[in-house]
Structure 1
Amino acid sequence: MLPQDYLDGLSVEEDAEQRRKQFGRNPKVRNVVAERDGAVVGWVVTGPCRDVGATGLDGEIYALYVAPAMIGTGVGRELVRHVIARARSAGLESMYLWVLEENHRARRFYEAAGFVPDGERGHWHMGGASVPELRYMQVLSGVPTAGQGERTGL
């Protein structure tokens, strides 16, 4: 889904160093990891929605990754449940995310978690290429949607 030359140019070490520098800079940005047997098997980062027109009551899932061997084990579902519960308890009204249009597996995952495409489209630019994205959202106030569970004092 991403240009091979872009992927070839990525460095785990550089990415890790860049993320270390970002930790703690913005207290509204939250990083959450999932662990199994002492090993990190998933990670999600959330914060204020960065889109034009967003309000202080809109959050965003910036990234969600699960170790390939752990996909389908519930790690991703638990991470999403956790961040949605935190967003609700913080008084957010909605949560947004962007997903690659061609990433049908991720789209099914987010739809099962109660997110729906809201009609906004964009392009992620990297390595001289442009990859189409779709925006998904979930209303956090009011009646829960599929995959959200009961709306209680989470």
Structure 2
Amino acid sequence: MPQVRPMREEDIDAVSAVRVGGWRAAYRGMVPQTYLDALTVDEDARGRREMFAHGSGDVLNLVAEDRGAVVGWAALGTSREADSGPDDGELLALYAAPDRLRAGTGTALLRHALAAARERSYDALVLWVIAANTGARRFYERHGFAPDGAASDWLVDGTAVPELRYRTRITPAP
């Protein structure tokens, strides 16, 4: 089982590699291939460095590490949704390296994100998932998330990609 810890600036390149690799593996056939082919680790890392340096501090970035290598990444913050309550959080991202799928990386990251949501006193945690991504949907459902009825189309290279919002209640620590 990987160790989960807060992301550091020196993790940016590895996180970008996990994210780009995760997108290419998970979203093939769900989003236009031209979009996936255009993703680069360098460009993602550039944007991530900017966010890391100038972010508000509201977003908690976590990495999963195994034998010194970053194998997963998750980001948690206050919900961006207009219809969310003021004490709702949002799982902004959760990615495992493609060779780490079904190896406990995602579960470890999600458990830490849920614990952080509890520490932040969030009432609920929401996330968006591509409707066609049945593997991710099953993963979140196994961990207590369920669709809450909200849906949206994400426009990617002129193609509408349907997304569903999932939600789970955060139970206070005993």
| Fold match (TM-score > 0.5) | yes
What 5-or-longer segments of structure 2 have no aligned partner?
Answer: 1-29
Instruction: Say whether residues 1:28 and 2:28 are aligned partners.
Output: no
Paired positions, count: 144
Q: Which runs of 5+ in 1 are unaligned?
A: 143-150
Corresponding position: 1:136 with 2:153: no
**Between structures 1 and 2, the one with greater helix share:** 2
What secondary structure sits across from 1:14 in the alignment?
helix
**Which residue of 11, 16, 19 corresponds with 2:45?**
16
Percent of pairs identical after alignment?
Answer: 46
* Cα displacement string for residues 92-141 of structure 1 (whole angstroms, at most 9, x for unaligned residues): 10000000000000000000111011111111112111100000000013
1:4 aligns with 2:33: yes
Which structure exhibits the higher relative contact order, with contacts defined as CA atoms closer than 8 Å and separated by 6 or more residues?
Answer: 2
Normalised by the size of structure 1, how large is the TM-score?
Answer: 0.89
The within-5 A match list for 1:28-107 is 28-107=58-137
Cα RMSD, aligned residues only: 1.2
What SS does the aligned partner of 1:23 have? helix
Distance 1:69 1:77 in 2: 15
Q: What are the residue-to-residue correspondences of 1:106-117 with 2, within 5 Å?
A: 106-117=136-147
Instruction: Using structure 2 for the length normalisation, give the TM-score.
Output: 0.79
Report SS of the residue matched to 1:60.
strand
Structure 1 position 127 matched with structure 2 position 157: yes
